[in-house]
A and B are shown apart, each in its own frame.
Chain A
């Protein structure tokens, strides 16, 4: 499997990364993928990934105080004190 420039453009779009930077990684990524061919040599018959092996432990379903809004918003680049400011998403 070789990544093409077209595929890299698509992957960059999915990842919200710069297309030019992605296409500059074509050779490195293809070398890495070449090394992954070894996965095909391992016998995986008898492995059932869909069977749940053990139950996860759950905590009691109780309402607890939420996080302090002001403290959370203080981490953000731009807010109005109630929500986050971003460029318009819908025209």
Chain B
């Protein structure tokens, strides 16, 4: 079975090989976003993150496969075929940064870039047994990132370890005048180096994250991760996050609304695929988008258009935006009492290929641990914390306060240096 990890491979002699998810523009190198509609698109410029990494000595080794436009949690919506799980090829690699996570797991690169809108770095990292970090919103420029949901998207690193992620983030983070959502970073954003010190850190484990629907082996592995942090000197305790249950609904309203707007630019006029069989301008638009987009993308555009439409905007988009603010405030209150939150990255191990796409409503619910983080713009990392009885990887997620990326990376480093997953 084809692994479908790379969409475009780039020969390199460089020692710091970087695989880049194919929704991040690389000048002169095809960038498809996993879609037929950009199948032959060659960007005229590179993303700021790519420029900075190349200047820091990284070399591009390929563009990795992904769910189309970042819309998917399994890797199966790519126009170029699904990326299979490197541990068990009958299972998914996760998504949407499927190729990047698999490439790191198989040692095909030294690190990779992914993007995370609702978990798309952390979840495939968990399924593939590697480390994936989503930075605070605004820490990494989105200039040159093909947009899915602009208030949620972030570019981030995937590596074997937290140290690998730290090195990539250090080389690409920082304000960019071409992205007005990027921020000036605080002085304590990243330390000079990671020391792994976790003694005295207050770690909360929200009890709502350990309820029904969570696989028992995943729960056991994540609780063992909590116990490990205790052994290393952290103070680990239960906490509560009541609005957690509404995060998936709020996420999908907001993300789809933003996607419906962002993807309206794909009309066959200025770049990308132009459809066939049209007789007028409107037919050109419809044919281009019908033939160019896959079904998951079309579904999310329709949903997004609905929640923004007259008569429904208040009940859906405006309400979801208010719930988003409730979630953000809840996190802020928790971070007055805790330095980190610990929970599973995913409710199960990687599902089998073909199991998920026929029931999108159920597939969306599997994002329950990752989407709250994007809604609040927080930093979060998935670290391997064990395997199940079939040897399938399990990921634990550490979440930090806004702009506390260094603290999150350092804690993950401390866990991994202290023995990590057993």
Q: How far is the CA of A43 from the CA of B319 in the complex (A)?
A: 10
Minimum CB–CB distance from B216 to chain A (whole Å) comes to 24
Minimum CB–CB distance from B375 to chain A (whole Å) comes to 12
Whether the Cβ atoms of B286 and A18 lie closer than 8 Å is yes
Whether the Cβ atoms of B280 and A88 lie closer than 8 Å is yes
B46-54, B146-154, B194-202, B241-249 - interface stretch: B241-249
Residue of B nearest to A27 (CB): B361
Whether the Cβ atoms of B285 and A16 lie closer than 8 Å is yes
With beta carbons under 8 angstroms apart, the residue of B250, B252, B302 that contacts A15 is B302
Minimum CB–CB distance from A64 to chain B (whole Å) comes to 10
Residue B320, interface by CB 8 Å = yes
Could you say which interface size class chain A belongs to? 35 or more
Residues of B contacting A36 with CB < 8 Å? 249, 252-253, 316
Residues of B contacting A71 with CB < 8 Å? 44
Q: How far is the CA of A76 from the CA of B271 in the complex (A)?
A: 4
Minimum CB–CB distance from A61 to chain B (whole Å) comes to 11
Residues of A contacting B250 with CB < 8 Å? 39
The majority secondary structure among interface residues of chain B is helix
Q: How far is the CA of A35 from the CA of B299 in the complex (A)?
A: 15
Whether the Cβ atoms of B299 and A25 lie closer than 8 Å is yes
Residues of B contacting A29 with CB < 8 Å? 299, 302-303, 306
Minimum CB–CB distance from A89 to chain B (whole Å) comes to 5
Whether the Cβ atoms of A15 and B260 lie closer than 8 Å is yes
Residue B269, interface by CB 8 Å = yes
Residue of A nearest to B358 (CB): A28
B110-118, B322-330, B404-412 - interface stretch: B322-330
Q: How far is the CA of A75 from the CA of B258 in the complex (A)?
A: 24
Whether the Cβ atoms of B274 and A35 lie closer than 8 Å is no
The total of chain B residues at the interface (CB under 8 A) is 64
B65-73, B177-185, B414-422 - interface stretch: B177-185
Whether the Cβ atoms of B360 and A41 lie closer than 8 Å is no
With beta carbons under 8 angstroms apart, the residue of B245, B302, B322 that contacts A22 is B302
Chain A, range 1-51, C-beta contacts under 8 Å to B: 1, 3, 7-8, 11-12, 14-18, 21-22, 25, 28-29, 31-44, 47, 49
With beta carbons under 8 angstroms apart, the residue of B245, B268, B298, B326 that contacts A17 is B298
Residues of A contacting B249 with CB < 8 Å? 35-39
Residue of A nearest to B270 (CB): A76
Whether the Cβ atoms of B243 and A49 lie closer than 8 Å is no
With beta carbons under 8 angstroms apart, the residue of B279, B298, B318 that contacts A21 is B298
Q: How far is the CA of A3 from the CA of B325 in the complex (A)?
A: 27
Interface contacts (Cβ under 8 Å), in number, total 145
Q: How far is the CA of A57 from the CA of B184 in the complex (A)?
A: 9
Whether the Cβ atoms of B44 and A11 lie closer than 8 Å is no
Whether the Cβ atoms of A38 and B245 lie closer than 8 Å is yes
Whether the Cβ atoms of B302 and A77 lie closer than 8 Å is no
Residue A66, interface by CB 8 Å = no
Residue A63, interface by CB 8 Å = no
With beta carbons under 8 angstroms apart, the residue of A3, A8, A42, A68 that contacts B243 is A42
Whether the Cβ atoms of A75 and B41 lie closer than 8 Å is yes
Whether the Cβ atoms of A16 and B289 lie closer than 8 Å is yes
Residues of B contacting A35 with CB < 8 Å? 248-249, 361, 364-365
With beta carbons under 8 angstroms apart, the residue of B246, B252, B289, B293 that contacts A41 is B246
Whether the Cβ atoms of A12 and B302 lie closer than 8 Å is yes
Contact with B along A45-86 (1 / 0, CB 8 A): 001010000001111000000011001101111100000101
Residues of A contacting B295 with CB < 8 Å? 21, 25
With beta carbons under 8 angstroms apart, the residue of B274, B280, B318, B361 that contacts A49 is B318
Whether the Cβ atoms of A86 and B281 lie closer than 8 Å is yes
Q: How far is the CA of A33 from the CA of B256 in the complex (A)?
A: 12
Q: How far is the CA of A29 from the CA of B111 in the complex (A)?
A: 37
Whether the Cβ atoms of A18 and B290 lie closer than 8 Å is yes
List, sorted by A's number, 8 A–B pairs whose CB atoms are closer than 8 Å.
A15-B301, A25-B295, A25-B298, A49-B318, A67-B44, A72-B270, A77-B269, A88-B280
Residues of A within 8 A of B (CB): 1, 3, 7-8, 11-12, 14-18, 21-22, 25, 28-29, 31-44, 47, 49, 56-59, 67-68, 71-72, 74-78, 84, 86-89
Beyond A44-B322, A88-B280, list 20 extra A-B contacts (CB 8 Å): A7-B306, A15-B264, A16-B267, A16-B285, A17-B301, A25-B302, A31-B361, A32-B252, A35-B361, A39-B320, A43-B326, A49-B321, A57-B175, A57-B180, A75-B272, A76-B270, A78-B274, A84-B270, A87-B280, A87-B284
